Structure 1
Amino acid sequence: MSTTAPTAPASGAGPAARTPAGLPGVLPLSLVRAGVELRQFWRERDAVVFVFAYPILMLAIFATVFGGQDQGTEVAEIGFAQYFLPGMVATGVVLTSFQSLAISIAVERDDGTLRRLRATPLPSSAYFGGKVLLTLATSVVQTALLLAVAALVYDVPMPSDAGRWATFAWVFVLGTATGTVCGVAFSSLPRSGRSASAVVTPVVLVLQFVSGVFFAFFALPAWMQTLASVFPLKWIAQGMRSVFLPADMAALETSGSWQHLATAGVLAVWLIVGLVVGVRTFRWRRRDDG
């Protein structure tokens, strides 16, 4: 029978849930674990290229393709690169947090890494802390590169007032946190590491298409806008649009405003749901590894 953490003392959850005597605290151990995670990440050259290059490539492709099509005069007036930039920032956050974690944790469970870590004195909180720090570090670098390319190559104007950057900061942090906990929770769904990508990737692709990442959100059918409003990606993208687009573009949103309070509320709800589901369903062993 598979075990869950931290509610299964028989699997060693008790010792792993707290720092044993003589070991550093959870934060130092999380930093050490983050260092291990980062070194492993940089060794996966293909993953590094994908994480950092994907949003930039998608911005270039969609800005070029849709630049010659009718997506609305409002979008044409500000430039297609500027309009699609918020969606690329949002999808980068979701890819780095939700998708990458859901797949990598499923693989680590399948190859026995999680089972071996569970047998060590490392607290489970330090393991998850390392994952959080890895996600935050890669998300920051990925987003910085994307913004630099947008500004230098496509002449996308960056916000000039502190208020917009403050909005960017809380949407980025809350969106990354939400994607991270949801990725941890979702990692228990794939039955094996081999099937993880096939289970997780389609979910992200569908959300990208309905959340205004690849198309102007106001041009999508009403039912699709309603469906997207249930999930975090739409709200992260909308929050980022409020940062990088002119204030009068808020009139194109469903409610005619940027809905910052609703953005924070929906992301907070998903953060809590992800935490609850993750705590109750996370498995350290494969389903067939009793």
Structure 2
Amino acid sequence: MSPVWYAARLGVRRGRTELRQTFTSGQDLFGYALWTALLMIPLFLAGDDPLKGAGISAGAFMLPSMVGMTLAFTGVMTTAQLLATEREDGTLLRAKAVPHGMVGLLAGKIIMVSGTALVSMALPFVAGLFLVDGVAQQGGGALLTLVWVIPLGLLATLPLGAILGSLVNSPRTIGLLTLPVMGLVMISGIYFPLSKLPEWLQIIGQIFPVYWLGLGLRAALLPAGAVTAEVGESWRHLETVGVLGAWAIAGLLLAPSVLRRMARRESGAAMAERYRKAMQRVV
């Protein structure tokens, strides 16, 4: 086995260990439960109010949309947070000192974040099924769509999270991204159809992967008649593959070089300086 593949194998094993730890941590489990509860609030408020012209309720429209938002949010923000934290606590520096250590580190992060994202999606989805009707009744066709939408969504968001995590200086800085991310959610057709927004906002919303993840999941989980609420009254599968694929390719091409540049800047002196500044803030 080549050294690179061996490092990747160790990284996958580390990722599985981290997943097991997070699923046995009371604090992390509370976070999953809290996120699920927060997502249920708009579903409960929307209830069975009909979505005009779509033949479904507003809650039914929102459920797959919010599941897609959760996948995108977890893929970007969790990856960025983990990399920023491991940069500050010295994990990245230790990985840099090991042959092909960065390969193992990234492999572990992919396993960890992918598992976290899938659980973060599944919990609100299952809970939401008890609040709304008309979702997940499409049979095998829905499963086939989910098979390609979810992995492609992860590929489109994980590299972006890695890039953002490598650009910030501290995990505390990640919080500054929350406001623009939530603004993006509002114009991505999560809580109401994108077709209801002005055309210039529709264009902006369709640039980013959040909208396309929501669209792909709505195509898989909603009745065929619900397509009348979408832009162009079409599920646009080819466009979904194209946009998510473009984000995935761009991220996979850009992320390694950005991460290598970040790793080159890491040193014991740089870490000591960050520790000194952190202690000054505490004092």
Both structures adopt the same fold (TM-score exceeding 0.5): yes
Deviation for aligned residue 1:121:
3.9
CA contact (8 A) 2:48 2:57 kept: no
Mapped partners of 1:32, 1:126: distance in 2: 9
- On the 8 A contact 2:61/2:222 being kept in 1, the answer is yes
1:87–1:237 Cα contact (<8 Å) kept: yes
Contact 2:16 2:111 in 1 (8 A): no
Return the letter of the residue paired with 1:139: A
CA change 1:196–1:40 in 2 (3 A) is farther
SS in 2 for 1:25: helix
2:53 alignment partner, one of 74, 91, 95:
74
Q: Which of the numbers 73, 84, 87 marks the counterpart of 1:106? A: 84
Q: How does 1:24-103 map to 2 (within 5 A)?
A: 25-39=6-20, 41-42=22-23, 45-51=26-32, 53-54=34-35, 56-67=36-47, 72-74=51-53, 77-103=55-81
C-alpha change, 1:43 and 1:106, in structure 2 (3 Å) is: farther
Q: CA deviation at 1:237?
A: 0.6
**Are the equivalent residues in 2 in contact too, given 1:181–1:278 (CA < 8 A)?**
yes
Q: Match for 2:207: what amino acid? A: V
Deviation at 1:223, TM superposition (A): 1.4
SS in 1 for 2:167: coil
Cα distance in 1 between the residues matched to 2:171 and 2:146: 34
TM-score (norm. length: structure 1): 0.81
Matches within 5 A, 1:60-209: 60-67=40-47, 72-74=51-53, 77-121=55-99, 123-198=101-176, 200-209=177-186
The Cα shift of 1:40 comes to 5.0
Paired residue total: 266
Q: CA deviation at 1:155?
A: 4.0
The CA deviation at 1:274 is 1.0
- Which of the pair is proportionally richer in helix? 2
Q: Does residue 1:19 correspond to 2:3, yes or no? A: yes
Q: What is the aligned-residue identity percentage?
A: 29
> How far does the alpha carbon of each residue in 1:252-281 deviate from its partner, in whole angstroms, 9 at most, with x for none?
222221111110111111111112221221
Match of 1:266 in 2: 243
RMSD over aligned Cα, in angstroms? 2.6
Unaligned runs of 5+ in 2: 272-283
* CA separation of 1:246 and 1:43: change in aligned 2, threshold 3 A: closer
Highest RCO, 1 vs 2 (Cα 8 Å, sep ≥ 6): 1
Preserved contact between residue 59 and residue 81 of structure 1 (Cα < 8 Å): no
Structure 1 residues 123 and 188: alpha-carbon distance in aligned structure 2, compared to 1, 3 A threshold: closer
Do 1:58 and 1:88's aligned partners in 2 also have CA atoms closer than 8 Å? Answer: no
Once the two structures are TM-superposed, the CA of residue 194 in structure 1 deviates from its matched residue by 2.0
Match of 2:203 among 216, 226, 229: 226
